[in-house]
């Protein structure tokens, strides 16, 4: 038995279930979609058995989402025609929570449109009539968003395009739901470098529009964040933006995080809207370095990443320091 | 409304979402002269996939696959209901459905959506001719439930109007019944001319009726994006013709049957190919072509790459000729 084996066995769940996103030593944008609901193994464990993953941060993430929604209600956006899709999304999310953790969540049909929802982790019990706003304490998106660790964006399909017409986003990686609401899928992705000449966005758009009712796919995306901070929305840039400069003065390994989004793309069954679930996982470099294969791979990816992509992801100020730290931790 | 022999869905291993369903017949009844309504529940007692209004179910009718519109709203359905007009001169699908009895178990591919309502419409104008009422009954149910503004024009031959009682109950004054064809056609003209801006039009019925509706809409200046007719589109790829593949490096030969992808055939023969989406978008399963002419069906390759004919995405693409040689 080697030292590595011993270390691997002691890895905590936050590392073992971390969706490490790099299959090779170089990273470029691609239409990297794959069918959902299949476990994917990594050097440290696996992830992706269910659409929704409930972890040790559930209660604190829920409280942070609710607090942000209270402080800034514009984190929830919903154009008037999206209410049926919002109900559809709520019922879908409840069903997937129950599927992932039947011990903690219950969804029972009481007959016809009457349902009972039980969330033992947050001590919520709610009976409701599907489609009847008066039977919930708030709108369906506002009700369900703090009960799931993912952000939710709803895309309406019409006139040969998808439109981001509703969403609850409290863990944005430097974007704003309020700014993007009502935009088409190509418009939203306008600022991303490189992807347009290569047709990546157009292919993804075409693919999403062909999803059939109930189909679910997933992809990952990534960036880096200073501190375990979920909310890096455009709205709060003055609060977190300066950390990108200040991080160099602090303990890099504890403060710099690899931020990975597991995005699920689901054709909601009865409204026909596409639901984007965005789950953000943050792992500090010192945790990441406990898996030697990840430490080496991430150092290689960061070092090789072209300048325009590093700029777009906001890594420019600390990229070389992060590479040096990872190499030094070997 | 039925369409004989729609494209059969391509079933890829690992594909999520509704696959093949086993359904048990719980009710059959005469909806009108020559029209049989059949209700199904899951044979295993589980739940049924929900679906958008206007979706269809692909029933495995013996060795054929026929698509039939689902008449429910699609929200958390406890059963599926179809209504099928007997076509004595058809190729047998409607006869097969009319022969179903309570207790029969049938196979079906889960609901597919190609005729969904547009959520931003200011008004929904539904036009149904004869058995074309079935997807529009689904639309009307959903519209009534979500308080969408709609009008349903329903033309039928006297005595042959299906679902009249429930339509009257459901729609009230939003339903206009037209047993007289001349009056129906005249009313289509005035309805299309007088619809408020922002109206979306949905029509289903015999081809002759759809021609009238489309012609009238074009003449009156309706934007194409606001006119929707029920046709069974290629939401799924067709199964394709069988072809032979030669692997240039090993000299091995294998057959790709209809309904089986080249990727699946390679995997079944123990030839591993990296793959991800299995939908022709991710670019992972590209394989080099040495000889033969690929039938490109993917969204990944550009026009120039497709024209070069020196590679193909083996998850969806096939061969235009009987043989293809790959650099594998």
Q: Give the residue extent of every domain in chain A.
A: 30-245+259-284
pLDDT at A131 over 90: yes
B213 and B151: one domain?
A: yes
**Predicted local distance difference test score (pLDDT) of residue B91:** 61
Contact B123, B198 (CB under 8 A): yes
What is the number of alpha carbons within 13 Å of residue B307 lying toward its C-beta?
3
Query: Is B238 part of any domain?
Result: no
Rounded to an integer, what distance in angstroms lies between the CA atom of residue A55 and that of residue A59? Answer: 9
**Predicted local distance difference test score (pLDDT) of residue B148:** 96
Rounded to an integer, what distance in angstroms lies between the CA atom of residue B100 and that of residue B105? Answer: 9
Task: Classify A301 as helix, strand or coil.
Answer: helix
B216 and B148: one domain?
A: yes
Say if residue A3 is exposed, middle or buried (CB neighbours under 10 Å; 0-12, 13-18, 19+): exposed
* Å between B183 CA and nearest CA of chain A: 32
Angle at CA of residue A240, ends A234 and A244, nearest 5°: 110
- State the average pLDDT over residues B79-94: 84
Record the tokens describing residue A282, joined without a space. 């943050």
**Predicted local distance difference test score (pLDDT) of residue A147:** 98
* Å between B171 CA and nearest CA of chain A: 19
- Residues of B in Cβ contact (< 8 Å) with A272: 52, 113, 116
- Please name the member of A31, A35, A269 whose beta carbon is closest to the beta carbon of B283: A31
B49 and B97: one domain?
A: yes
- State the average pLDDT over residues B290-302: 88
pLDDT at A4 over 60: no
Cα torsion angle, B223, B229, B234, B240, sign: negative
Q: DSSP assignment, residue B196?
A: P
Rounded to an integer, what distance in angstroms lies between the CA atom of residue B183 and that of residue B190? Answer: 11
Query: Is B237 part of any domain?
Result: no
* Å between B9 CA and nearest CA of chain A: 11
Contact B91, B4 (CB under 8 A): yes
B266 and B320: one domain?
A: yes
Record the tokens describing residue A216, joined without a space. 């679910």
Whether the predicted model's global pTM rises above the 0.90 cut = no
Strand partners, B311: B288
B21 and B104: one domain?
A: yes
**Predicted local distance difference test score (pLDDT) of residue A129:** 97
* Å between B33 CA and nearest CA of chain A: 31
- Please name the member of B111, B283, B302 whose beta carbon is closest to the beta carbon of A30: B283
Strand partners, B200: B124
- Residues of B in Cβ contact (< 8 Å) with A203: 281, 299-300
* Integer angstrom CA distances of residue A188 from A149, A211, A286: 23, 20, 34
CB proximity A63 to B under 8 Å: no
A290: left (phi over 0), alpha (psi -120 to 50) or beta: alpha
- State the average pLDDT over residues B246-251: 94
B186 and B161: one domain?
A: yes
How far is CA B121 from its chain centroid?
A: 22
- Banded pLDDT at B88 (limits 50, 70, 90): confident
CB proximity A199 to B under 8 Å: yes
**Predicted local distance difference test score (pLDDT) of residue B235:** 35
**Predicted local distance difference test score (pLDDT) of residue A7:** 47
* Å between A301 CA and nearest CA of chain B: 20
Cα torsion angle, A300, A303, A309, A314, sign: positive
Q: Which helix (H) or strand (E) holds A65?
A: helix A58-71
Q: DSSP assignment, residue A108?
A: E
Q: Which domain holds residue B256?
A: 243-326
- Residues of A in Cβ contact (< 8 Å) with B235: 210, 212
pLDDT at B13 over 70: no
- Residues of A in Cβ contact (< 8 Å) with B142: 84
pLDDT at B112 over 50: yes
Query: Is B174 part of any domain?
Result: yes
Domain of B276, CATH number, reads: 3.10.20.30
pLDDT at B323 over 70: yes
Contact A326, A295 (CB under 8 A): yes
Contact B228, B200 (CB under 8 A): yes
pLDDT at B328 over 60: yes
pLDDT at A6 over 50: no
pLDDT at A159 over 90: no
Average pLDDT, chain A: 91
Task: Classify B190 as helix, strand or coil.
Answer: helix
pLDDT at B11 over 60: no
* Integer angstrom CA distances of residue A239 from A28, A90, A171, A231, A316: 30, 31, 14, 10, 19
What is the phi/psi pair of residue B323, to 5°? -135, 155
Which residue, of B112, B139, B169, is where some domain finishes? B112
Rounded to an integer, what distance in angstroms lies between the CA atom of residue A84 and that of residue B119? Answer: 9
Q: What count of residues does chain A have? A: 330
B84 and B140: one domain?
A: no
More confident residue, B305 or A144: A144
Q: What is the pLDDT of residues A137-157, one digit of tens each?
A: 999 999 999 999 999 999 999
Cβ contact (<8 Å) for A217 and B16? yes
What is the number of alpha carbons within 13 Å of residue B178 lying toward its C-beta?
18
Record the tokens describing residue B166, joined without a space. 């429930």
Average pLDDT, chain B: 87
Least confident of A4-8, A49-53, A312-316: A4-8
Q: Which helix (H) or strand (E) holds B176?
A: strand B175-178
pLDDT at A248 over 90: no
What is the per-residue DSSP string for A109-160?
EEETTEEEEEETTTTEEEEEETT-GGGSSS-HHHHHGGGSSEEEEEEEEETT
Rounded to an integer, what distance in angstroms lies between the CA atom of residue B242 and that of residue B9? Answer: 16
More confident residue, B61 or B221: B221
Q: Given the DSSP bridges, would you call strands B323-326 and B243-247 parallel, antiparallel or unpaired?
A: parallel
CB proximity A213 to B under 8 Å: yes
Other Cβ atoms closer than 10 A to A207: 20
Q: DSSP assignment, residue A235?
A: G
- Residues of A in Cβ contact (< 8 Å) with B11: none
**Predicted local distance difference test score (pLDDT) of residue B114:** 80
Contact A296, A117 (CB under 8 A): no
Rounded to an integer, what distance in angstroms lies between the CA atom of residue B314 and that of residue B317? Answer: 5
A219 catalytic? Reply is yes
Q: DSSP assignment, residue B101?
A: -
Nearest chain A residue (CA) to B280:
A207
Q: Which helix (H) or strand (E) holds B287?
A: strand B286-291
What is the phi/psi pair of residue A28, to 5°? -135, 160
More confident residue, B217 or B235: B217
Q: What is the pLDDT of residues B255-264, one digit of tens each?
A: 999 878 899 8
Residue (of A298, A296, A315) closest to A306 by Cα position: A315
Rounded to an integer, what distance in angstroms lies between the CA atom of residue B314 and that of residue B279? Answer: 10
Q: What is the pLDDT of residues B158-191, one digit of tens each?
A: 988 999 999 999 999 999 999 999 999 999 999 9
Residue (of B298, B278, B284) closest to A24 by Cα position: B284
- Residues of A in Cβ contact (< 8 Å) with B56: none
Strand partners, A96: none
Task: Classify B168 as helix, strand or coil.
Answer: helix
B18 and B104: one domain?
A: yes
B314 and B256: one domain?
A: yes
**Predicted local distance difference test score (pLDDT) of residue B277:** 64
**Predicted local distance difference test score (pLDDT) of residue B275:** 75
ipTM reported for the complex, 2 dp? 0.86
Other Cβ atoms closer than 10 A to A137: 9
Query: Is B118 part of any domain?
Result: no
pLDDT at A1 over 70: no
Specify the number of domains making up chain B: 3
Residue (of A142, A145, A132) closest to A84 by Cα position: A132
Q: Given the DSSP bridges, would you call strands B123-129 and B199-204 parallel, antiparallel or unpaired?
A: parallel
B211 and B253: one domain?
A: no
| A28, A219, A228, A290: the active-site residue | A219
Strand partners, A283: A258
Cβ contact (<8 Å) for B113 and A212? yes
- How many beta-carbon contacts under 8 Å exist across A and B? 116
Rounded to an integer, what distance in angstroms lies between the CA atom of residue B150 and that of residue A316? Answer: 55
């Amino acid at each position: 038995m080697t030292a590595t084996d011993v270390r691997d066995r002691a890895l905590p769940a936050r590392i073992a279930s971390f969706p490490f996103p790099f299959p090779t030593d170089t990273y470029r944008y691609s239409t990297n979609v794959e069918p959902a609901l299949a476990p994917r193994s990594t050097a440290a464990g696996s992830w992706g058995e269910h659409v929704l993953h409930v972890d040790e941060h559930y209660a604190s993430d829920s409280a942070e989402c609710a607090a942000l929604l209270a402080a800034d209600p514009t984190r929830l956006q919903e154009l008037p025609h999206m209410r049926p899709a919002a109900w559809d999304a709520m019922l879908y999310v409840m069903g997937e929570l129950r599927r992932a953790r039947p011990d903690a969540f219950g969804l029972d049909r009481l007959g016809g449109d009457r349902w009972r929802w039980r969330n033992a982790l947050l001590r919520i019990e709610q009976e409701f009539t599907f489609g009847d706003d008066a039977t919930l304490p708030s709108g369906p998106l506002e009700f369900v968003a703090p009960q799931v660790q993912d952000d939710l964006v709803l895309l309406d399909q019409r006139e040969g395009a998808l439109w981001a017409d509703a969403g609850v986003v409290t863990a944005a990686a430097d974007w704003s739901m309020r700014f993007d609401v009502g935009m088409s899928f190509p418009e939203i992705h306008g600022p991303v470098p490189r992807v347009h000449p290569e047709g990546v966005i157009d292919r993804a758009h075409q693919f999403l529009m062909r999803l059939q009712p109930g189909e679910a796919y997933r992809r990952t995306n990534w960036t880096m964040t200073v501190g375990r901070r979920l909310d890096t929305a455009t709205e709060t840039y003055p609060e977190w933006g300066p950390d990108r400069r200040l991080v160099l003065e602090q303990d890099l390994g504890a403060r710099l995080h690899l931020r990975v989004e597991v995005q699920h793309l689901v054709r909601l069954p009865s409204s026909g809207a596409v639901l984007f679930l965005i789950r953000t996982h943050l792992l500090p470099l010192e945790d990441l370095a406990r898996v030697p294969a990840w430490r080496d791979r991430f150092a290689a990816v960061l070092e090789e990443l072209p300048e325009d992509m590093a700029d777009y992801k906001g890594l420019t100020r600390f990229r070389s320091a992060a590479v040096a730290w990872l190499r030094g931790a070997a | 409304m039925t369409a004989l022999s729609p494209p059969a869905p391509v079933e890829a291993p690992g594909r999520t979402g509704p696959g093949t369903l086993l359904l048990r017949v719980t009710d059959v009844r005469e909806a009108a002269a020559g029209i049989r309504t059949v209700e199904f529940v899951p044979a295993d007692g589980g739940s049924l996939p929900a679906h958008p209004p206007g979706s269809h179910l692909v029933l495995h009718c013996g060795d054929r696959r026929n698509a039939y519109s689902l008449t429910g709203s699609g929200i958390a359905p406890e059963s599926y209901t179809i209504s099928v007009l007997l076509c004595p001169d058809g190729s047998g699908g409607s006869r097969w459905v009319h022969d179903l009895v309570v207790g029969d178990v049938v196979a079906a591919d889960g609901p597919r959506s190609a005729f969904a309502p547009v959520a931003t419409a200011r008004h929904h104008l539904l036009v149904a001719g004869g058995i074309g009422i079935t997807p529009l009954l689904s639309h009307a149910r959903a519209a009534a439930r979500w308080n969408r503004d709609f009008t349903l024009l329903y033309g039928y031959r006297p005595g042959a109007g299906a679902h009249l009682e429930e339509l009257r109950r459901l729609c009230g004054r939003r339903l206009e019944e037209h047993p007289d064809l001349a009056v129906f056609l005249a009313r289509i003209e005035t309805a299309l001319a007088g619809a408020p801006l922002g109206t979306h039009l949905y029509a289903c019925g015999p081809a002759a009726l759809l021609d009238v509706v489309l012609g009238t809409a074009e003449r009156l200046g309706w934007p194409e994006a606001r006119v929707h007719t029920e046709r069974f589109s290629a939401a799924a790829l067709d199964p394709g013709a069988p072809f032979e593949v030669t692997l240039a490096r090993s000299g091995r030969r294998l057959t790709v049957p209809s309904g089986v992808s080249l990727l699946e055939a390679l995997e079944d023969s123990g030839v591993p190919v990296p793959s991800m989406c299995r939908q022709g978008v991710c670019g992972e399963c590209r394989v080099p072509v040495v000889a033969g002419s690929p039938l490109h069906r993917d969204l990944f390759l550009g026009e120039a790459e497709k024209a070069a004919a020196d590679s193909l995405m083996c998850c969806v693409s096939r061969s235009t000729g009987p043989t293809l040689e790959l650099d594998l």
